[in-house]
Structure 1
Amino acid sequence: MPATTSERVRRRRDALRAAGLRPIQIWVPDARQPGFAAECERQARLAAASDAADHDLGRFMDAALLDLATDIDA
């Protein structure tokens, strides 16, 4: 007789726990809600304006990319 869905789920979860993992629950914004896209755009504009106002950010990011490229080549 085939295993029930709950038995398969239990076995899978037991295997994951045996592998050192544990279940967690996270809550994320519901992208289906009215106004979600507008809020994303608002926050993106704020982040872009902040980045544009930070004159050292470009140099910092260039240095970080150079450092990353150096680490990859090593």
Structure 2
Amino acid sequence: MTSRARVSAYRDRLRSEGLRPVQVWVPDVRSADFATEARRQSALVASAASHSDDMQFVEAISTTWDE
């Protein structure tokens, strides 16, 4: 059996189980641009006032892992 036939049979089995293929695009975390943007956003979060309205809202709706 060729690899093309195996893949086709595998996909047919998945479809018969009610599944469908979905293509998902995600950021390339190995990219230098990604690392630069992650550092930029992290610095913004770190320098934000911890008592801002946004943070108060997050704290109000958050629960701890123990609960």
Tell me whether the two structures share a fold, i.e. TM-score over 0.5. yes
Partner residue, 1:40: 38
State the AA in 2 paired with 1:60.
I
C-alpha distance in 1 between matches for 2:3 and 2:31: 32
Structure with the largest fraction of helix: 1
- SS of the residue corresponding to residue 15 of structure 1 reads helix
State the AA in 1 paired with 2:56.
H
TM-score (norm 2): 0.67
State the AA in 2 paired with 1:11.
A
- SS of the residue corresponding to residue 23 of structure 2 reads coil
Within-5 A mapping of 1:1-74: 3-47=1-45, 49=48, 52=50, 53=52, 54-62=55-63, 65=64, 69=67
Structure 2 unmatched ranges of 5 or more: none
Specify which structure has the bigger relative contact order, considering alpha-carbon pairs within 8 angstroms and separated by 6 or more residues. Answer: 2
Q: Compute the displacement of 1:27 (Å).
A: 1.5
Greater Cα shift, 6-15 or 30-39: 30-39
Q: Compute the displacement of 1:47 (Å).
A: 4.5
Runs of 4+ in 1 over 6 A off after TM superposition: none
Q: What is the total number of aligned residue pairs between the two structures? A: 63
Q: Percent of aligned positions with the same letter in both sequences?
A: 40
